[in-house]
Chain A
């Protein structure tokens, strides 16, 4: 312990709340608070060893496709752009969406609240003059920023390496597809993020509900049409630019139009965030019970 003496203090009364609180919602204060929480959350959660799992997930498809590109170059083989588009579509829909982004969102969003409860640090936020709803929104935005940066970036890098053996001409020819995939990755982070943030309020470990949702999403192609509608992957796949064969056992169903799928994901996200806001408002800090 430092031996420096405690200085004498001259205390002043705490400043009154900003006048805008009395007049209405202080949006400028909220913006500053969200920015501060976002910065703190990114520093705490995504610049340490604990983030390695998420980085690993994001880099996995990029590494595989980069190695494939290197091998193709080494052997001088030239790929057919149509075949590359189909292969990328399969890998994006079966591997990227269902595994990488899904489990990435479990890790990122499922722990935003729960991990702080386990580490007994959530009370520092709760003891700040921040509306709990603003805190939930800031945490969600942190998750969205981090997950989309990682998985959106990984989508771009994977697409680039997938097309590398075909040359840059093919890459730019199918650039519209890349934008669509990045859009789908964003919607996946948005929707799955809201799902797992909400689960963080209801379950002590996000793993169990995540496995259940994963199973539901995995057997989506076997479900009757009315059940397909209550899964995220049904809407995300419908937005992918290249459709992929689902196998002989798949039960066919009409793909929802983008006019249904996109607002549907936004609506689901809004509903789940409203539930999260309500839960965080009611949340008590009683770490002993956790």
Chain B
């Protein structure tokens, strides 16, 4: 699949402008491609990412990590231009005052304790001893590892290693936090805590970019998503908006009401309604429609005309998992 679904939450990416304006407040990719020899990493990517939590979603090998590595200059684009809040990625001395990146590599410098790991790289940033100590303590406390901090990282569990990496990435209080599979290896409790942390960071105005295979959690945390497949961006924006743009897949709307048969009969009179299924308990129905707004208007009319009692109305397939399934064609590795 190569065509990108039109943007619904982020600024338009298709057709791409020759140069992206107002790059200073966004993370921008302008016509970026990356090839490893003849192997495609990502191709012709145009993005403009605002603050908030943005999730990168796609199957293995879709280009998520390549995109992240390009964003921080660990890889250089074969063509195109990348800027993070206006800073080109080949200037690490400026870039990494604003950016923190927790990679997927589960590797740590030898012989260091969790505390030394976070503290030492703050010193490498050029921070004074006192500053580095204060920032390291704050970051380690945020991820709940103060007790384990004096122990060698080599003795940590997978979840603790993920958390200390997270602490190291955000210890210098960056504006942009990029996290490659940050929920891997975390138990459910820790996941919930880390997701809460991401939300706090996003609420404070940070740019939080997260790649994840765990679609229902992506759904819970994302302000916007970028769906990748085979090195191409296949969709991006707020998930609801992305879903609405997918006209070839009728929207599914679930309605809980007292007389589903009446509503079903009225729905079938509309051209845009493709399918209606009555719920087995006969207390609701599932409508497939090519015009969600048209259906909501119909529903209002039926309520007014017949006194239909409606308990709940909700889109049934406007989540990341459904969009992923429609666009990429698998269940996205449900977890």
Residues on A lying within 8 angstroms of B by beta carbon are 1-18, 21, 29, 32-33, 36-37, 39-40, 43-44, 47-48, 50, 119-121, 123-132, 282, 284-287, 289
Known: A32-B126, A132-B92. A44 touches B110 (CB 8 A): yes
Q: Does B24 count as interface, using CB distance less than 8 angstroms?
A: no
Q: What 1/0 mask marks residues of chain B from 108 to 125 whose CB sits below 8 Å from any chain A CB?
A: 111110001000110111
Known: A127-B101, A131-B92. A119 touches B142 (CB 8 A): no
**Secondary structure type dominating chain A contacts:** loop
For window 32-52 of chain B, which residues contact chain A by CB distance below 8 Å? 36
Q: Show 28 A/B contacts (Cβ-Cβ < 8 Å), sorted by A.
A: A1-B190, A2-B145, A2-B148, A2-B160, A3-B144, A6-B144, A6-B193, A7-B142, A9-B142, A12-B173, A13-B205, A14-B97, A14-B98, A17-B94, A21-B94, A29-B126, A32-B126, A37-B124, A43-B111, A44-B109, A119-B107, A121-B109, A124-B121, A127-B169, A129-B97, A129-B125, A129-B126, A285-B75
Of the residues B99, B160, B175, contact of A13 by C-beta under 8 Å: B175
State whether A120 touches B105 (Cβ < 8 A): yes
Q: Which of A21, A124, A284, A289 has the most CB of B within 10 A?
A: A124
Tell me the bound Cα distance from A130 to B111 in angstroms. 23
B: contact size bracket: 35 or more
Quote the shortest CB–CB distance from A50 to chain B (angstroms): 8
Q: Does B314 count as interface, using CB distance less than 8 angstroms?
A: no
Quote the shortest CB–CB distance from A43 to chain B (angstroms): 7
State whether A40 touches B75 (Cβ < 8 A): no
User: Other than the known A1-B160, A50-B110, what 13 A-B pairs have Cβ atoms closer than 8 Å?
Assistant: A2-B148, A2-B160, A9-B200, A11-B206, A15-B97, A32-B123, A119-B107, A120-B107, A121-B107, A123-B105, A126-B73, A131-B93, A284-B74
Q: Does B69 count as interface, using CB distance less than 8 angstroms?
A: yes
- Cβ–Cβ < 8 Å partners of A5 in chain B: 144, 193
Known: A124-B109, A128-B125, A129-B125. A2 touches B201 (CB 8 A): no
Tell me the bound Cα distance from A168 to B178 in angstroms. 64
Of the residues B112, B121, B148, B201, contact of A9 by C-beta under 8 Å: B201
Q: Does B72 count as interface, using CB distance less than 8 angstroms?
A: yes
Tell me the bound Cα distance from A121 to B105 in angstroms. 8
State whether B123 touches A39 (Cβ < 8 A): yes
Q: Which of A1, A2, A282, A287 has the most CB of B within 10 A?
A: A1
Of the residues A6, A48, A130, contact of B124 by C-beta under 8 Å: A130
State whether B159 touches A1 (Cβ < 8 A): yes
Q: Which of B96, B126, B128, B189 has the most CB of A within 10 A?
A: B126
State whether A129 touches B204 (Cβ < 8 A): no
Known: A1-B159, A9-B142, A127-B101. A286 touches B75 (CB 8 A): yes
State whether B95 touches A129 (Cβ < 8 A): yes
Query: For chains A and B in complex, what number of residue pairs have CB atoms within 8 angstroms?
Result: 152
Known: A11-B201, A13-B175, A43-B111. A6 touches B142 (CB 8 A): yes
With both beta carbons as reference points, the residue of chain A lying nearest to B187 in the complex is identified as A1
- Cβ–Cβ < 8 Å partners of B110 in chain A: 44, 48, 50, 119
State whether A130 touches B108 (Cβ < 8 A): no
Of the residues A1, A119, A123, contact of B103 by C-beta under 8 Å: A123
Known: A6-B197, A129-B126. A44 touches B75 (CB 8 A): no
The 4 closest A-B pairs by CB, nearest first: A36-B123, A120-B107, A4-B144, A11-B204
With both beta carbons as reference points, the residue of chain A lying nearest to B128 in the complex is identified as A32
- Cβ–Cβ < 8 Å partners of A21 in chain B: 93-94
Known: A119-B110, A130-B124. A4 touches B147 (CB 8 A): yes
Quote the shortest CB–CB distance from B125 to chain A (angstroms): 6
- Cβ–Cβ < 8 Å partners of B74 in chain A: 123, 126-127, 284-285
Tell me the bound Cα distance from A48 to B74 in angstroms. 29
Tell me the bound Cα distance from A16 to B205 in angstroms. 16
Of the residues A8, A130, A287, contact of B105 by C-beta under 8 Å: A287
- Cβ–Cβ < 8 Å partners of A126 in chain B: 73-74, 92
Quote the shortest CB–CB distance from B136 to chain A (angstroms): 13
Q: Does B174 count as interface, using CB distance less than 8 angstroms?
A: yes
Known: A1-B187, A127-B72. A36 touches B124 (CB 8 A): yes
Q: Does B76 count as interface, using CB distance less than 8 angstroms?
A: yes
Q: Does B194 count as interface, using CB distance less than 8 angstroms?
A: yes
- Cβ–Cβ < 8 Å partners of B147 in chain A: 2, 4
